[in-house]
């Protein structure tokens, strides 16, 4: 048997660890209660471009993207294409179904002065940071943001 086996663990270290854990838990709880967060930059800075959009499934398997609550089609994702766009929208639609929310309101797609491109669900407030998924996937949504209208 070694000397470490015969000596008890230092009581001061155990107390310090317990205090550290307790302070961390209390601090996190207080911050959550008072909603302690840095103010969002979007509250004071206007986006370079923004569009309120609706996404609907077409009869042929396409995804029809329109603005103004479906009044004007701005882009159509052909059947079998746009896997990233379909995946993002599927995830947001699933979140809405779980919360019992319908199709309205739509989504806001915006590009910010710092180059950030984000899709916000206007019903839940959830934001998808599109830059995080790489340049090609970001480009898919940038094309939608800057599309002039869908071809007939």
The tens-digit pLDDT sequence of the chain (152 residues) is: 676 677 777 888 889 999 999 999 998 888 777 766 655 555 567 888 888 888 877 878 888 878 866 678 887 878 878 788 888 888 888 888 888 887 778 888 888 888 889 988 888 888 888 888 888 888 888 888 888 754 43
Question: What is the rounded distance in angstroms from the CA atom of residue 137 to the CA atom of residue 66?
Answer: 20
Distances (CA, A) of 142 to 49, 59, 136: 10, 25, 10
Q: According to the model, what pLDDT value does residue 152 have?
A: 38
Q: According to the model, what pLDDT value does residue 25 have?
A: 92
Spell out the alpha helix ranges (H) of 34-151. Answer: 83-99, 135-145
Q: Are 91 and 119 in contact (CB under 8 A)?
A: no
Q: According to the model, what pLDDT value does residue 15 have?
A: 92
Q: According to the model, what pLDDT value does residue 19 have?
A: 94
Q: According to the model, what pLDDT value does residue 151 have?
A: 44
Q: According to the model, what pLDDT value does residue 23 have?
A: 92
Other CB atoms within 10 Å distance of the CB of residue 106: 21
């Amino acid at each position: 048997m070694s000397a470490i086996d015969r000596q008890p663990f230092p009581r001061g270290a155990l107390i310090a660890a317990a205090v550290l854990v307790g302070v961390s838990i209390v601090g996190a709880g207080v911050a959550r209660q008072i909603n302690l967060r840095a103010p969002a930059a979007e509250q004071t800075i206007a986006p370079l471009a923004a569009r309120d959009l609706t996404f609907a499934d077409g009869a042929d398997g396409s995804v029809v993207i329109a603005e103004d609550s479906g009044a004007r089609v701005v882009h159509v994702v052909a059947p079998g294409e746009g896997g990233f766009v379909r995946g993002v929208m599927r995830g947001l639609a699933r979140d809405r179904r779980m919360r019992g929310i319908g199709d309205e309101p739509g989504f806001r797609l915006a590009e910010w002065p710092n180059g950030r491109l984000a899709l916000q669900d206007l019903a839940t407030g959830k934001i998808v940071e599109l830059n995080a998924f790489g340049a090609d996937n970001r480009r898919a949504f940038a094309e939608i943001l800057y599309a002039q209208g869908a071809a007939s």
